[in-house]
Structures are given as structure tokens and as C-alpha cells.
Structure 1
Amino acid sequence: MIRELELGDIKELLAVQRLTYDGQTPWTRSGFLSELYSRYTHLYLGVVHEEKVIGFMGVRLFLEDGHITNIAIIPKFQGWGLGAFLLQEAEIFAKSHRCQTMSLEVRKSNSDAQRLYRRLGYVSRRVLPNYYNENNEDAIDMVKYLC
């Protein structure tokens, strides 16, 4: 089941991150609160299996861009097309608000995610040096042109 996320889901979102990112939680509770209460138009969707959130995605709209703020699927459920489905839902949402682009950042080491994004039409714009705080890893800034 896919549904919009609520404040009560934050504990499960943190758990999804721990499982997806080797025990790390790149986003804190306050980070999720900030996004869910953002004044910018946004959409946060969760994938629920057996009453547990197993994945989620957030998109925030700014001007004519739909920016993927976060996407994570528990490793056990990766490869099932859930990430692609969530990204397509984000794109539908962005298009309905007249966005011209979709954007995201991805870890330089995350070749699986990069492959998914490229398959869905994203292209690399530039490398963002030392983007991730916890290990100073570079990010690749990617964009998809919707028009």
C-alpha cells in the first residue's frame, strides 16, 4: 500500500534509514518534522507492507523544480520497482504543479541508485564535493527535464 506520510510515521522513517544506510540516520526527527511542516508545496509517500513502512520518498516543490529530498527502501525490498514507482509518483505530482524539472543528489558511491535515476531519465549536472556531512562523500547532482 502507498499512502501519504504523517507525523506518527517518523519513528518508522528513522528505522527505514537505519536499515538502508548501514545503521546511519542521515535525516533526524527534526529534519522530517521540518519537511512535513514545510511551507513549500511537498509530498511525502510511504510504502507500507504488513502495517510497517518499508520505504518512503519526499519531494519538495520550489519554483519550477520538484526536488527529491529523500528516498529510501529497506534493502530486503529493493529491486521490486518500489523506488521507481515512488519517483514516478513524485513526477506526476510535480507536473501537476507545472514543474519543468525534477532534481536530486545521490552519493557518488551509490551506483545502483544512479543506474535507476538514469533509467528514469535523470542526467548528471555536476559533482558536489564533500556533500554528505557524516563522511564528506561527494554527491552527484542530477536533473530530469520534464518538458
Structure 2
Amino acid sequence: MLKKFKALTQRWQPKQIPTYERQVRLIAGQPYVLRQLANDDIKTLILLQKEVYAGNMPWTRSAFLSEFSSPMRHLYLCAEDKGKVVAFCGCRIHGADGHITNVAVLPAFQGRGLGSLLLEEVEDFARQNHCETLSLEVRISNRDAQRLYRKLGFVSRAIKKGYYDETNEDALDMVKFLEDGN
């Protein structure tokens, strides 16, 4: 009986969450450190969100803690400039979909390619996890982000009414279809 119980519980144990190797990437000759986020970064992420979202804080400390400790396969990355977190992005695997949960780049660093770089990294993560799609929601009012996502191959799928709790703003649901071998 004990053997059967052990076999059953082993099947339900969460998969090991992969680690991301810290690396330096150049964008227009400027070095940025890409690394995996950890619980120690949450205070910084909350402050970054406040700056990016004009004082609003879409994710709380508990939301980040829940996401970072989730048994679901996920990857949360940041880009650092001279030791300061200037951008971050997260992706969670749901079956055959890599869902992008959050993307934020400090206003002073927008337009430099950091968002694209982080999105490419989470796309690679989704492909490594055999995902067929990459999905996200974006505020209807955020035209700049929508342009970036379209440039990266995302297409509009639907409008989610009142998606954002704090403002009741609608979200545009977007998807990128990941083809084998690309």
C-alpha cells in the first residue's frame, strides 16, 4: 500500500521550475544584464510598476509571491542597467499556451528594445515547453504596446470587457501562433 501511495504522490508533485542563466546582452552598444527574478526583487517591482503605470499598482506583493512560488512552469525575468532593474516580464505555461502575465519597462528606458528582448526570451521559454501559442492582454488605451506586440507577430483575438479591476478598462486579448521550427 505504501508503494502505491508513494507512486501516486510522485505523479502529483510539481515540476522543477527551470532556472535562467544570468547573461549580458547588448542593445545599441549598451549592456543590460538579464536575470531571473526572485522574492527579494518584489519591492523593486512594485516601485517600478508605480512609475510605469502612473501610480497604479496592478500587481501586489502577494500576487508576485504567488506567481514566483507557483508549481506551474513559469519564467520571470528582468533587465538591469548598472545594477538597477529597468524592465521585467513574466510568462506562465498553461497547457499549450505560454501566457505573458506582465511586461513593464521604465519610461526612461522605453523605445530601446528592452521589451522586445524580454518578450523574445519568454517566447523561447514557451517554445522549449512545447507551447503552440503565446498570449497576453493589453489595455485598449495602450496603443504603443499594441504596436510592439503586432510587430512581434501577435494578432488580436478578442476584447475582454472591464478586464482591469482598478480602472474597469477593457483589454485586448492578443495571441501569437508559434510554428514548429521557428
**Bin for the TM-score computed over the shorter chain:** over 0.9
Q: Using the alignment, how far apart are the partners of 1:47 and 1:23 within structure 2? A: 21
Structure 1: runs of 5 or more not aligned: none
Shift of 1:51: 1.4
- Greater RCO, 1 or 2 (C-alpha within 8 Å, sep 6+): 1
Task: With the length of structure 2 as denominator, give the TM-score of the two structures.
Answer: 0.80
Q: Aligned residue for 1:32?
A: 64
Task: With the length of structure 1 as denominator, give the TM-score of the two structures.
Answer: 0.99
Contact kept, 8 Å, 1:12 with 1:52, in 2: the verdict is no
Structure 2 counterpart of 1:59, one-letter code: C
Q: Using the alignment, how far apart are the partners of 2:84 and 2:38 within structure 1? A: 13
Q: Aligned residue for 2:35?
A: 3
Alpha-carbon RMSD: 0.5
Shift of 1:102: 0.0
Matched, 1:67 2:67: no
Cα deviations by residue, 1:69-121 (Å, 9 ceiling, x for unpaired):
00100000000000000000011000011000000000000000000000000
Q: Aligned residue for 1:113?
A: 145
Cα deviations by residue, 1:25-62 (Å, 9 ceiling, x for unpaired):
10000000010001100000011112111110000001
Matched, 1:53 2:85: yes
Q: Give the ranges of 4+ consecutive aligned residues of structure 1 lying more than 3 Å apart after TM superposition.
A: none
**Paired residue total:** 147
